[in-house]
Amino acid sequence: MYLNCKKIKSNFKFYLILVLFIYLLVNFNKTNLVFAGKFYSKIQKTDSSEKMFDSSQKEMEILKFQIDDLSKQKNSILKEIVKLKKELEKYLLQIENQKKPNKSKIDLNYLNFKIYFSKKKESLLKKQLYEISLEQIDLEIKLRKILYSFKN
């Protein structure tokens, strides 16, 4: 079997140059020019600072997603509270109508229980709304701290 030695050497050189070129592209130090007063200064990014920046970006995205999720929960709770208030008004109107002498006491007691439980549910929803608001404020503060750390 005959091997063409020149072809093997030229292929090897080509692949070696290609691998070196790719290595230089990947490991090239990135620099940025920053205007500082009258002068431009060169800032070199290190791998650790880039990794820290990338992880902070991911953390910021996660925090923004959590804040959006909490605001959606807040909106749904507010809608439910409005719905409960409408039901309460309806029950109160029914009680006023049942206070007439021809209505039974059982229906009146049933409506009173409905009012009691809907008020209790409304208070629980308001507590949840308050807790969600506090959590949302906490996440917004964390997000501001991350943004502030990038500015300095």
Kindly report, residue by residue over 48-77, the tens digit of the pLDDT.
556 666 677 788 888 888 999 999 999 999
Per-residue model confidence (pLDDT) at position 108: 77
User: Is 60 exceeded by the pLDDT of residue 47?
Assistant: no
User: Poorest-confidence range of 1-10, 31-40, 130-139?
Assistant: 31-40
Characterise 68 by phi-psi region: left (phi > 0), alpha (psi -120 to 50), beta (else). Answer: alpha
Per-residue model confidence (pLDDT) at position 120: 95
**Alpha-carbon distance 60 to 66, whole Å?**
10
| pLDDT higher at 49 or 84 | 84
| pLDDT higher at 123 or 62 | 123
Per-residue model confidence (pLDDT) at position 22: 81
**Alpha-carbon distance 97 to 99, whole Å?**
6
Per-residue model confidence (pLDDT) at position 91: 86
**Alpha-carbon distance 113 to 106, whole Å?**
11
Length of the chain: 152
Characterise 37 by phi-psi region: left (phi > 0), alpha (psi -120 to 50), beta (else). Answer: left
